[in-house]
Amino acid sequence: FDPVWFGVIVVMVVELGLITPPIGMNVFVINAMARDVPMMETFKGAMPFFAAEVVRVVLLIAFPAIVLFLPNALS
């Protein structure tokens, strides 16, 4: 596997970890800014973004050429 592809996948998976419970640091920050919104509502609001991120990671794993197109075009 290509190191550039692996680096992109690692960053994407870390992003997934920042919006999912129990860690969900990004969601905790958003909830701290909107104090009147319950935590469960904040997590429910983040779920469409989680689903889109999962689809994106699956596509990038299935088709690594998507990630490697620009680096290959530059070299």
> Cα separations (Å) of 7 from 17, 20, 22, 61, 66?
15, 20, 24, 12, 14
Residue 23 has a pLDDT of 76
Stated pTM of the model: 0.81
Residue range 4-59, pLDDT digits in tens: 999 999 999 999 988 887 778 888 898 899 999 998 998 898 899 999 999 999 99
